Amino acid sequence: EIKVGMIDSITSPVGAEAFSGPGYGAQAYFDALNAAGGVNGRKIQVYQCDDSGSGLGDMQCVHQLIDSDQVFAFAGNSIFSYTGASYVSSKDVPDIGGEPVDQAYDQYPHLYSIYGSSSPRDGTVGWNGQLYSSTEIYAYFKQKLNAHVAAVVEYNQPDSLRYGQQEAAGLRAEGYTVVTEQLDFALPNFAAAAADMKAHGVQIVFDAIDTAGNGALCTALDQAGVSLVAKVTTPQSWDQSVRSDYSGAPKCRNVLYATSSELSYEDTQYPQVAAFRAAMAKYFPSRGPDLSMWELDGWASAQWLTDAVRSCGTNVTRACVEAFMNSSTPYTGHGLLLPTSFVVQRPGPTARACLNVARWQDSANGGQGGWVTQVPDMNTNCFTTPVISYSAG
């Protein structure tokens, strides 16, 4: 058998659902794989550890899984504070397809984010502390919805602030007027933020906050009579619980958009998505109301590790797995992901990038509501955009 570790911040400060999704998706993939005979005749044994969303808990999980359980690799990681990343890297343990909640996946060798990375990952974040991103998300909404006044909503918490500042810089690079709303993490005043957005004529809202915060924000926007063309949220909030999370905000809920670099978990016409849904229904039937893109990320992570192991034949080594991960040929997860790689390349002034886009509609799925994909093919929904740099500090 092959031992695979999984660290997920399940009992985290922001609630049990925030970081648990990828673990379910990865476990479902491995359960289905084992039922079909494993990979190259070997079964996968999963060792999961809940680090409680704390740095200390993360270090305990890392030592437990590497030193005691002696896992071969990680998959399905979803870690709020990846304090143990340097230890994982120092032990040459591949971490495949993790959620890049913090900057570890752009910093250390042997760590492979679900989104890929072009950074050197030599112990310093990004390129000497600078990170880069392209602006295709903002280009899409400017072109498709004619939006030009945007708000960015963030908490006064380091990861949220960093992501919010990155969003604001991207929006400005695409020519938007940007209104920033910074909320107190402990006592957020959503009503004041909504009133300010209305006063500034905001048409589109982006956020760097959690799902519960988004629900409260949308309720405040509806109550203030803010008329938006789109409320754009993160892949983490692209899930099945929108109707309950945004129960007090029917207007905002129905202009809720999310973007990603993979197929939607709703689009079962694609074999990869159909397989994910079938495995989730079989192994985690109670998760039906909680299906999410992050669960699909976990599935993709497990599949990526499995494909890497399969490439090794009978001689499965960490070096062989990493050779697969570092291939110059981008990986698509059998069509599930946009082409993804870890080829080190300093970004130029512009980049061409593609994205998938979905919108929540209450009328979808026979009135049950659901995410409706907005683009015919994510592989051709592409934009040439500026590349912005920002400090990792």
Say how far apart CA 291 and CA 281 lie, in whole Å.
10
Fold for the domain defined by 2-115+267-325: Rossmann fold (3.40.50)
Cα–Cα distance for residue pair 131/165, rounded to 1 Å: 12
pLDDT single digits (tens) 349-376? 999 999 999 999 999 999 999 999 999 9
Number of Cβ within a 10 Å radius of residue 212: 15
Is the pLDDT at 393 greater than 80? The verdict is no
Categorize the per-residue pLDDT at 237 as very low, low, confident or very high, splitting at 50, 70 and 90: confident
pLDDT at site 198: 98
What's the pLDDT band for 236 if we cut at 50, 70, 90?
confident
Residue 16 has pLDDT above 80, yes or no: no
143, burial (CB in 10 Å: exposed 0-12, middle 13-18, buried 19+): exposed
> In the chain, which segments carry CATH 3.40.50.2300?
2-115+267-325, 133-260+349-391
Query: Tell me: the pLDDT tens digits for 206-233?
Result: 999 988 899 999 999 999 999 999 999 8
Question: Mean pLDDT over residues 174-187, rounded?
Answer: 97
Phi/psi of residue 355, nearest 5 degrees: -160, 155
| pLDDT reported for residue 8 | 96
Kindly compute the dihedral angle of the four CA atoms of residues 35, 261, 237, 256, in this order, to the nearest 10 degrees: -130
pLDDT reported for residue 234: 84
Q: The whole model's pTM is what?
A: 0.94
Axis-axis angle for helices 21-35, 271-283 (nearest 10): 90
Helix (H, G, I), strand (E, B) or coil at 370: strand
- Give the pLDDT mean for 263-270: 98
- Indicate the pairing of strand 350-354 with strand 382-391: antiparallel
Write the pLDDT tens digit of every residue in 57-95: 999 999 999 999 999 999 999 999 999 999 999 999 999
How many residues are listed for the chain in this entry?
A: 393
Amino acid identity of residue 71, one-letter, is V
% of residues, the chain, pLDDT over 90: 92
pLDDT of res. 310: 99
Alpha-carbon distance of 219 to 194, in angstroms, equals 9
The Cα 169–Cα 227 span in angstroms is 24
For the chain, the average pLDDT equals 96
**Predicted local confidence at residue 222, as pLDDT:** 98
Quote the CA–CA distance of 15 and 18 in Å, as a whole number.
6
Query: What is the CATH superfamily name and number for domain 133-260+349-391?
Result: Response regulator (3.40.50.2300)
